[in-house]
Structure 1
């Protein structure tokens, strides 16, 4: 399947879980589709890019290892996304990656991600956290940043500051997640 054919196939994907899972299954069965799928995902303002991001999220949830060969592109380009419907699934992938990286279990993510990858994700997650994004994106970013702060010592103090500054203006869902994150930060000595 060419990139054009994949783009056409994505036109038939809608927000239903069933349609997204069908396309994700196709991609998982044909991993060579990941390269063109990433290219489509990072097209920017094109609404089809959001659909590619949805599929990447489903693929990552099912088999995170499939994303890893594309980690350089992923970490370098995630900061270029603006559409909320693209940013949210990519923030979720960041959360999957950080949870896997800091997992006690041995996994491929731990050996693949470099400090440079982690720093790029941290910078982007901070941008998402302070930017005009929906609560889900901010919540995934909080989780990623909390974990990344165990490796990158500057993060926890910055995260605490951002959450405290933005708490009063946050929605109820934002406040709930911020409270939970701030509570976890209390046990960290660097804060």
Structure 2
């Protein structure tokens, strides 16, 4: 791994300005994505959480930089187990799927992998931020795949009982749209 990139990851924080600075640095030096993307999925290294936060910001700034890394990302999504890492990556996935509805660059296989992991994350015990991103992702994919809305509806109805106000809010909003 590039030493400067490793130092940036090591010294990064969750502060907004720090994430923006690191994201802009990677956008300007986008060859570093070849090191950053795989590092995000090295779950044995605790720094992968910080790398995921940086990657989220990079793709928020310049989403088209993700194109060359989509196969690897989609193949490795199911490796992520940490709530913070999944929150960052689920947000990027949401942005990518929403963008894909206009540009159509995700393959059928990539969409299947994303759909599978999103349902897994939705029924698992993750925070509301992850579930929010996942619900919006599945809603977007469901526009072109009939079977998703009935499955999503069942989960949202079941999980809304006794859930947090944040989950209930996004569930209600999406239920209105799919009914």
Aligned to 2:108: 115
Residue ranges of structure 1 left out of the alignment (5+ in a row) = 187-191
Change beyond 3 A, Cα 1:46–1:169: farther
Counterpart contact for 1:7–1:48, Cα < 8 Å: no
Counterpart contact for 1:45–1:82, Cα < 8 Å: no
Q: Secondary structure in 2 aligned to 1:133?
A: coil
Aligned to 1:57: 56
Q: 1:135 aligns with which of 119, 128, 142?
A: 128
In structure 2, distance between residues paired with 1:119 and 1:128: 14
Counterpart contact for 2:24–2:61, Cα < 8 Å: no
Change beyond 3 A, Cα 1:68–1:179: same
TM-score (norm 1): 0.90
Where in structure 1 do 4 or more consecutive aligned residues deviate above 3 Å?
A: 2-5
Aligned to 1:189: none
Q: 1:154 aligns with which of 147, 150, 175?
A: 147
In structure 1, distance between residues paired with 2:76 and 2:7: 23
What's the C-alpha RMSD, in Å, of the aligned pairs? 1.2
Residue ranges of structure 2 left out of the alignment (5+ in a row) = none
